[in-house]
Structure 1
Amino acid sequence: MPNADPSTCDADTLIDAVIDREGRYVNHPTDRGGPTCWGITETVARAEGYAGDMRALPRTVAAAIYRRRYWLQPRFDRVALRAPRIAAELFDTGVNMGTATATGFLQRALNALNRGARDYPDIAVDRLIGPRTLSALDGFLAARGKGGETILLRAMEALQGERYIALAERRPSQEAFLYGWLANRIGQN
């Protein structure tokens, strides 16, 4: 997560950083998200009850949407209590790819790093943060110690990078965004 201190994982700091990075109104012709303001797509804004012109979306409304939809609902706040850098990555990836995708990256990485289920049981890749995912995260951190969070973060970023490249390969129009995605979304923690 660029422009945020990953050691503390304060939601307000994460939200401000993503809003600053995303900027005001954009409607890029090849962006499948359509019109956005502060990084909030029109579809998300409408689903969250905003009915006004997207160019006029207040920053405070965007911040409230980020907190509710991309921090509290997916339970990334629970992850932050255990692994602040992982929570920051989940938030940033969730904003860009969806919270279910971000959570799936965490679950896949936890399963791949559990040494054949010796450190903790495999978990379902259900793309939801629940008691089993949190327990697996606790097990991973206990087994791997202080450096474990860094390795888990690298595994999640590898999955994210692969997804960006695959997206650009499937949809050449998305190549316009690939460089920025890799520059601004990978390896910032």
Structure 2
Amino acid sequence: MTSFDDAFEALIGNEGRYVDNPKDPGGATCWGVTERVARASGYAGPMTDLPRDTAKAIAKKLYWDPLHLDEFDPRVAFQVFDANYNGGHCVIWLQGAAGAHVDGLIGPATIAAVQAVDPLKFILRWNALRLRYFTSLKTFSTFGKGWANRIADNLTKGAS
């Protein structure tokens, strides 16, 4: 992976089109964008019709840019982007996987720590933190198999 565009393509492979699972606390989503996020981003149409380009613009603005992902190895950036899009504690995990001071704030020290760590070691640590988080959720029994498969796919992408 070399850019946001590549990461978005890989992400959409994890997300897919419209889904509205009554057991999902996120509610109706399309391209992985929840209805709440779509509305807050100015989209007023039916969620079943959310344009892919609109989802991509939302992804860049809300889930890529705030974490400075252009500054990281593309394999690392994708892992963080996927988790930020899917939900979790990305800055804390970023700091933990990089061996940085964990304070939940992304700044120059965190960015430098992530840049300094071997990307493959980062990806292994990152996904360990992410799996531990998933197993702590009460919805793990419903969605855990899909989340575990997502991480398995992401590990494969990270090794490329």
Q: Tell me the TM-score range normalised by the shorter chain.
A: 0.7 to 0.9
Is the aligned partner of 1:133 residue 2:110?
yes
The within-5 A match list for 1:99-114 is: 101-111=89-99
CA contact (8 A) 1:42 1:54 kept: yes
Bigger fraction of residues in helix: 2
Residue of structure 1 equivalent to 2:101: 123
Identity, % of aligned positions: 37
CA contact (8 A) 2:19 2:28 kept: yes
TM-score after normalising by structure 1:
0.75
Residue of structure 2 equivalent to 1:63: 56
Is the aligned partner of 1:162 residue 2:139?
no
CA contact (8 A) 2:97 2:126 kept: yes
Structure 2: tracts of 5 or more residues without a match: none
Residue of structure 1 equivalent to 2:150: 184
Residue of structure 2 equivalent to 1:77: 70
CA contact (8 A) 2:18 2:29 kept: yes
Q: Distance in 1 between matches of 2:114 and 2:125?
A: 14
Q: Distance in 2 between matches of 1:127 and 1:162?
A: 21
The within-5 A match list for 1:136-147 is: 136-138=113-115, 140-141=116-117
RMSD across aligned positions (CA): 1.7
Residue of structure 2 equivalent to 1:116: none
Shift of 1:127: 4.0
Shift of 1:21: 3.0
CA contact (8 A) 1:123 1:136 kept: no
Shift of 1:160: 0.3
Q: Distance in 1 between matches of 2:136 and 2:101?
A: 25
Structure possessing the higher radius of gyration over alpha carbons: 1
Is the aligned partner of 1:150 residue 2:116?
no
Query: 1:44-85: CA deviations, max 9, x gaps?
Result: 111111111111111110111111111112211222xxx221
CA contact (8 A) 2:14 2:150 kept: no
TM-score after normalising by structure 2:
0.88
